Amino acid sequence: MILPLRIALLWHQHQPYYRKGNHFILPWVRLHAAKDYWDLPALAEQFPSLKQTINIVPSLLVQLDEYIRYGITDSIQELTLINACDLNRFQKTEILRLFFLCNYTTMIAPYARYNELYSYAQHNQQEAVESFTSQDWLDIQTWYNLTWIGELFKSNNSELQSLFEKTHFSEDDKVTVLAYHKHIISLIIPLMQKAVKENRLELSVTPFYHPIIPLLIDSRSALENMPDILLPVLAPQSVKDAQVQIERALAYCKDRLSIVPNGMWPSEGSISNETLSVFEQYNVKWIATDEKILFQSPGHHHQLDKYFPRKIGNLTCFFRDHALSDAIGFEYSSWEAQKASDDFIKRLKQIRLDLIQHYGEQSLQYAVVPIILDGENCWEYYQNNGLPFLRSLFHALISQDELHTITMSEGIQGSDFLEPLSSIKAGSWIHGNFSIWIGHSQDNAAWEMIAKARKILFNCGLDQKSPEWQKAYNHLLISEGSDWFWWYGDDHISANQSEFDELFRWNIEQIYLLIGHHIPDEVRQPIADKIEFADAELSSKEIIHTLFEKEYSGSAIHSVSEILSSIHICFHAASQLYTMNVHATDCIANNAAIEIYILTDQHKTLTAIWKDNYLQFDGFIPKLCGKGMHHIYFSLPDTLHIFQIRVQSINNTTSLQYPRSGNYVTLTL
């Protein structure tokens, strides 16, 4: 009898709480619900022997209910519902800003009419505001919502298929698309509950508003991996808030879903020894984090040890296979679906052989390969929303004798193969530390704002059982969510950065209003600085084309192997020059090279190479260029009017091409 390798798939479904007053200021709950949150468990239903785990964040499910039960709407819905003939200039400008925030290659380019409108608006935004007809605006309103409907759902619906084939839409079509969004939302929770009852799915949970629990308990936990980091002067330091975030998450699952979760994926896989003690108080059986946390913790750890769940006190801890999880999340989207699936299975089989060789075949009874990643953000980078890849992968996983899928709880039995861990080093799945959420002046300003508001709330004299105090405390818990800090600092760029800042400060403001306290001036001032070049000559740039932007929306997708964060072609009014601006992520290594190839209409190739913070040009000498630790810019030749461009980034482990298709993209200046 062949002993199979056990595979534990965990999909993390997460959105922060976007509600401000009586509407959601961002649409990502609704849009990802329509595209991803139903499609994934519905596809798994076609493979009855496949087992997996979905980790849910209560702040996401609460919003699903608020869309359906209470009719709360988001900003995109509200702009969509305005009759196209009645749009004013501001609303039209907002539509052009917001209704193309999706992956161009997979969600705009396949639809000729949508692509036509996008292409014109990208190059002639002001003219589009003036010249687009009511039909043009109606088509944009409809297409943006239509393109967010999941591939699997639309494949089973003839009415939706006919809408995708239309050139022009009616006001009734627009309303129909939005109605389908709400219908899909209403199906999501019942579908997951059904899968749980059929023992095909386990539901785990994250603390209610997705806080970084180690930092909430003690900000000094960041020093364990970053001893030189600058901490905020004030921080919440609140075990109580951590307990409440966990208590409320577990209670929500019991009351709303009729389940008691066995396990938790801590927000961003963030753990510390103090955090584990708090989880233990609530009878949590298992948690999961990244393999890097294991390897940087005390003791000697073989590379294959990550495949064995470990006891830490009364908890069982799983360690995410970083490479395999990121392969689905960030790499396979540019592969042909079958080849990607074959590669994944090949790598799993090699792990099985390695385990047998190192520990013996009986070790397979205890080993688990945890594949843990976002269940929503990566799919828009795949053709057909990842459906061909997932179909191929799911079929392969249940067809191979050497492989067997399990839920996370079913993997607990392997936790006694290796000796328990006495302690772990605090960190998250990203870089093994907390640099995304603390240390930058903007992050620290937000933590200090929370700490001040918390101190005033707990000392305001109001009865803590009063409705006003409880509402204020809930706003405090919302403000502790990780997502606000994700967008502060210079780690990530988003078209919605100002909305995240606005929503964070609004929640802080509500604390003061509800307890009748004066609102400090700093709460009314934006925390996030504008992202600009330091050079005065480049301060008034206008982005005329985006070749690549890693964070284009409220999405929290993050690849630790991604080298570049954005590539823009800009026009600078002061110098009347066009420049190419390239921003890198923190992942750029000393030996990384950025190779830029420009093919002119005279079939000449111009190249620029950025390596070791040194810029080298071949075929032209720019009039203007500059560089910093994480960005370069250089002017394009005056004679360049129509050209093609491709960028390749290379470090010691990864080679990525931009655009992701690997082809040149044609630009006109």
Asked if residues 99 and 76 have their Cβ atoms less than 8 Å apart, the reply is yes
User: What integer pLDDT is reported at residue 384 of this predicted model?
Assistant: 96
Specify the higher pLDDT residue, 587 or 335. 335
Residue with more model confidence, 632 or 503: 503
Q: Is 668 helix (H, G, I), strand (E, B) or coil?
A: strand
Residue 10: strand pairing partners:
53, 372
Give the dihedral sign, CA 125/130/133/139. Answer: positive
Predicted confidence band of residue 554 (pLDDT cuts 50, 70, 90) = very low
Q: What are phi and psi of 510, to 5 degrees?
A: -65, -30
Is the pLDDT confidence value at 534 over 90? no
* Angle, in degrees to the nearest 10, between helices 467-479 and 239-252: 100
Indicate if the pLDDT at residue 538 is higher than 50.
no
Amino acid letter at 58?
Answer: P
556, pLDDT greater than 50: no
Q: Compute the distance between CA of residue 508 and CA of residue 296 in angstroms, rounded to an integer.
A: 36
Q: How far, in Å, CA of 110 to CA of 167, rounded?
A: 13
Closest by alpha carbon to 115, among 134, 102, 133? Answer: 102
Mean pLDDT along residues 335-339: 97
Q: Which of 150, 161, 149, 119 lies closest to 136 in space, CA to CA?
A: 119
41, pLDDT greater than 90: yes
Q: What is the pLDDT of residues 153-177, one digit of tens each?
A: 999 999 999 999 999 999 999 999 9
Of residues 324 and 575, which shows the higher confidence score?
324
Q: Give the angle 80-81-85 at the CA atoms, nearest 5°.
A: 90
CB burial readout 101-127, b (16+ within 10 A) else e: bbbbbbbbeebebbeebbeebbeeeee
Distance set, CA 454 to CA 90, 275, 463, 478 (Å):
38, 20, 15, 12
Give the domain ranges of the chain.
Answer: 1-225+244-435, 441-524, 536-668
CATH code for residues 536-668: 2.60.40
Kindly report, residue by residue over 272-318, the tens digit of the pLDDT: 999 999 999 999 999 999 999 999 999 999 999 999 999 999 999 99
1-225+244-435 architecture in CATH?
A: Alpha-Beta Barrel (3.20)
DSSP H or E segment with residue 356: helix 337-359
pLDDT tens digit string along 228-285?
999 999 999 999 999 999 999 999 999 999 999 999 999 999 999 999 999 999 999 9
Name every residue whose Cβ is closer than 8 Å to that of residue 123 and which is 6 or more positions away in sequence: 544, 545, 668
Q: Which one-letter amino acid corresponds to residue 238?
A: S
Q: Where are the alpha helices (DSSP H) in 124-170?
A: 125-131, 134-146, 151-155, 158-164
223-227, 410-414, 547-551, 654-658: which is most confident: 223-227
Q: Position 640: which residue type? A: L
Q: Which residue has the higher pLDDT, 22 or 591?
A: 22
Q: 129 falls in which pLDDT band (50, 70, 90)?
A: very high
Model confidence over 579-619: pLDDT tens digits? 888 888 766 665 677 888 888 766 677 888 887 667 778 77
pTM for the whole structure: 0.82
Q: What mean pLDDT, rounded, does the chain reach?
A: 90
Bigger pLDDT: 644 vs 480: 480
Instruction: Say which residues have a Cβ less than 8 Å from residue 655's Cβ, sequence separation at least 6.
Output: 648, 649
Is pLDDT at 555 greater than 60 in this prediction?
no
598 neighbors 605 (Cβ within 8 angstroms):
yes
Two domains, one topology: 1-225+244-435 and 536-668:
no
Does residue 60 register a pLDDT over 50?
A: yes
Percentage of the chain modeled with pLDDT above 70: 91
**pLDDT grade for 539, boundaries at 50, 70 and 90:** very low
Q: Which residue from 370, 208, 385, 224 is spatially nearest to 296, judged by alpha carbons?
A: 224
Entry field: residues in the chain:
669
User: What is the structure's pLDDT at 6?
Assistant: 98
Q: Which architecture, in CATH terms, is 441-524?
A: Up-down Bundle (1.20)
pLDDT of residue 319: 97
